[in-house]
Amino acid sequence: MKIKIKSEFLLMLQKLFYLIGRKYKKILIASRIIILLTMQIYSYAQMWESTSGPSGGEVNKIVIHPNDPNIICAAVSLPYSGVFKSTNSGQFWEALTNGLEFDNIENENRWINDIAIDYSNPETLYVSIRQAPSIGSSFLYRSVNGGTNWEAIKEGIIYSLCVDAGKIYALSNLGLLYSSDAGNSWTIQSSSIIGNQILLDEQNILWVSGDEGFYRSNDEGITFQQFSFAGAYEYSAFDVAMINNQKLVALSVIFSLPYSDSLFISYDDGATWINRSDTSFSGDYEKIYDIKISRQNIDHIYIGFGKGFYKTTNAGLNWLEHNNGLILPHTLLQNYNTIVTSLALSFQNSNIIFAGTTNDGIYYSSDEGNTWEFLSLPSGKTVALSLAYENDEIFAASSGGIYSFNNDSIWQPTTMLIGQIEGDLTEVAVSSYYNNLILCGLRNSSFNPMVYKSNDKGLTWDLKIFFPYEGYINKIRFDPVDANKVYVAHSTGLKFSTDQGDSWEDLQIPIGSSPIDIAINPQDNNTIYILRVNGKIDKSEDGGLSWTEIRASIDSQHTCIRIDSQDPNIIYVGSFWLFKSEDGGNNWIRMPFDKKVTDIAIADETGELFVGTFKEGIWHSTDGGNNFNKLPPLPSERITSLIFCNKNGNKKLIAGTEGVGIYQYNLKVTLIEEQAISLIGDFYLYQNYPNPFNPITRIKFEIPGQARNDNTMVTLKVYDILGNEVTTLVNEEKPAGEYDIEFNGSGLSSGIYFYQLRAGSLLETKKMILLR
């Protein structure tokens, strides 16, 4: 619901509230509540905004709109499947999930086999989704509005399909299927043809590749001619193109003894074949995943395989590697090759190529693959989020690696990338004091937990902890007061460092199940809480020297523990329910919230509560968890992590999901009007943000006046906890309106400070915390 009010009406309301307020202060307060309620309705009617990242998963198919090359769709599988669409050449993507039922089952057991576009009616899309038989049935879905909504039209496993003018050819577990009415009814054309790729060329000749051969049909799949190559055991990829009555077929054939992937071409519909292989195609991991032929020059052939992107400009006589910008630095593997699993060419300009990869995202080239640009695709599973407070840059650990986002551009990869390396990230944390300092937790292919450290925002990394046994790094928590201290909760205990993560010691804690999370009192860093996966909580009030059990174990699915920074006696714990303590953990109550909690975020300024859940989205409470309202739905309601960030004065809630990236929600309560005239002529001092802060925070306030040209003497001063004046931020006459002032506490020690606003005879004071 978008509210727009004319300037004259706003000015009239402003003057009215000011005059009422002078005579009836209580009415003014009531009027403010009314207006704030109106503003809140407006604010929470907004939708989530995608950040278009970070990347992850295997991009196994890309299709480009036949009439508009700016429109692209990508299918991503493993570990979390999804369909994504861009309308600006891949610079920004949205997840297309409405009707695909991804949240109804476990995504790990569901993957996309193929996606196709009806080239005569490009608003019609088809996607085949397969899932493990033990989970349920596989389906073919159709969208008639460009992917906005989907409906299941056929049950069964579809491996590949091609579509034009409502005619669909589909390779299935039953054989070759055919539909002449956009998928409403089906016939089996041939039960003997089982394959992995199907294509209809410009002469309406049908081509199929499979495990046992390569096939050609001139009669819509009724009969087939088979092409076989001695010693072949898989026909993996192919393409067919025709230019000026000259046709070229390019086919990848995998041979077993010795293992090699060879490329053959034919100019006569397969009557004769020419081997145009390259020695680079041989090797254990160099399978050709996709082949594309230029529609402008038939001798230009492109392949995506285990060594990246190769092309030829003379029909395969010579092949050249073109991986400039396609292979990103990987800390975990120095000699890294990007696996290119899918390619797509623009119909209008074959110089424009998109390349999909295995867990390294999607790339764009405008010069026929000579150079590549990384595009951020929101296909990764987000496992953790952390914020660099100095510039509100967000760091995310996803299934693809660690990426950063500054709200002004796309997600940028660090060098801590997983790619096709076996292993997974489990945690990322940025220091509150040194924004270049990042720690991350991961597991290698042998499931050994490790902690890496970066002092340059992820450009380089050093291994700091290695555990010689299986397990996880569950949580990394920087001390909110001591800039050099940091804790790591792992599967079997707790470690701590007093030198920013360079060296580590074991912290002796009581015997119990795996520590899943740590919470530290922001006003007293000697008070530490350890949450175990079974719900047991141990508390230390002497910096970890001794511990007391304050909560017994309950179940095996506890996820997080959070402290209210303004009132550290208030603590929340997430599990299958939400629990709360109001006395520092001595007593606990189960709140009326019966959803599986995955993360909790508490707004510093207001104490408002935001709770992420598994499959049920994000919920908001303004009364400490007694009542909740659900925020607008996300493309996936599987929430993994929540944090806040502040950008240009707007506070945002950042939410990580499983498989559709990260989203932001604007929490600033505003009304839009033509001349930005304040609706409330009231005196108001906002809570500083961020709070706690180090060393910079912002203080916003409003001062009253009958009109904009009224001036009032205004002072804004900062005091320490003893009442000594620290600095004066404002000392001048100002007209009525809203102001935002920066306070830099660089020369001050950690502690509690007060800031006081005086406007004429009006006075208000608030508390803030500087943590170093």
pLDDT in tens, 741-763: 999 999 898 888 889 999 887 88
Same domain, yes or no: 448 and 544: yes
Q: Give yes or no: residues 540 and 431 share one domain.
A: yes
Number of alpha carbons in the 13 Å side-chain half-sphere of residue 522? 20
Residue pLDDT, tens place only, 635-645 = 999 999 999 99
Please report whether residue 158 resides in a domain: no
Count CB neighbours of 137 within 10 A.
Answer: 12
Domain boundary among 625, 640, 669: 625
Q: What is the CATH number of the domain that holds 688?
A: 2.60.40.1930
pLDDT at residue 727 tops 90: yes
Q: Is the distance from CB of 140 to CB of 95 less than 8 angstroms?
A: no
- Considering its fold, how many domains does the chain have in total? 2
End position of a domain, from candidates 625, 649, 673: 625
Which residue in this structure is represented by tokens 């939400």? 578
pLDDT digits (tens, 9 = 90+) for 55-113: 998 999 999 999 999 999 999 987 677 899 999 999 999 999 999 988 876 656 778 99
The amino acid that residue 583 corresponds to is: D
Q: In the prediction, which pLDDT does 626 show?
A: 96
Distance in Å from the first CA to the final CA of the chain: 42
Dist CA 396 CA 100 (whole Å):
26
Q: What pLDDT score does 7 carry?
A: 38
Cα gap 500→357, rounded to integer Å = 35
Residue numbers of the domain that contains 487: 382-625
Query: In whole numbers, what is the pLDDT of the chain averaged over residues?
Result: 87
Residue with tokens 């909740």: 628
Residues 612, 699 within the same domain: no
689 and 617 in one domain? no
3 state DSSP class of 90: coil
Asked if residue 86 belongs to a domain, the reply is no
Query: What band does 21 get if pLDDT is binned at 50, 70 and 90?
Result: very low
Given 625, 640, 660, which residue is the final one in a domain? 625
Is the domain of 602 the same as that of 700? no
Share of the chain above pLDDT 70, in %: 89
Same domain, 618 and 691: no
Read off the pLDDT of each residue in 133-145 and give the average, rounded to a whole number: 89
Helix (H, G, I), strand (E, B) or coil at 81: coil
Element (H, E) at 17: helix 7-23
Q: Are residues 690 and 561 in the same domain?
A: no
- In angstroms, the CA 49 to CA 732 distance is 40
> Domain for residue 476, yes or no?
yes
Q: What residue type is assigned to position 26 of the chain?
A: K
Residue 19 pLDDT > 70, yes or no?
A: no
- Give CA–CA dist 500/520, Å, rounded: 17
Residue 106 covered by a domain: no
Q: What CA–CA distance (Å, rounded) separates 237 from 234?
A: 9
| Per-residue pLDDT at 30 | 37
Say yes or no: 613 and 687 in one domain. no
Within a domain: 245? no
Give domain status of residue 465, yes or no. yes
Least confident of 347-351, 471-475, 534-538, 575-579: 347-351
E strand or H helix at 240: strand 232-243
Domain assignment of residue 436, yes or no = yes
Map residue 202 onto helix, strand or coil: coil
**Cα–Cα dist 295/298, whole Å:** 6
Residue 491 has pLDDT above 50, yes or no: yes
Handedness of CA 34, 602, 692, 640 (dihedral sign): negative
Angle between helices 25-43 and 7-23 (to 10 degrees): 140
Strand partners, 751: 770
Is the bond preceding 66 in cis, omega lying within 30 degrees of 0? no
Q: State how far the Cα of 309 lies from the Cα of 133, in Å rounded to an integer.
A: 35
Same domain? For 403 and 525 the reply is yes
Q: Is residue 304 very low, low, confident or very high in pLDDT (cuts 50, 70, 90)? A: very high
Q: Are 485 and 417 within one domain?
A: yes
What is the CATH number for 581? 2.130.10.10
Q: In the beta sheet, which residues pair with residue 204?
A: none
Same domain, 619 and 736: no
- Asked if 688 and 616 sit in the same domain, the reply is no
Structure tokens at 574: 């997430």
> Which residue has better confidence, 702 or 198?
198
Query: pLDDT (tens digit, 9 = 90+) per residue, 542-596?
Result: 999 999 999 999 877 899 999 999 899 999 999 999 999 999 999 999 999 999 9
Provide the edge-to-edge strand list for the sheet that holds 737-744. 684-685, 696-703, 737-744
- The answer to whether position 719 is within a domain reads yes
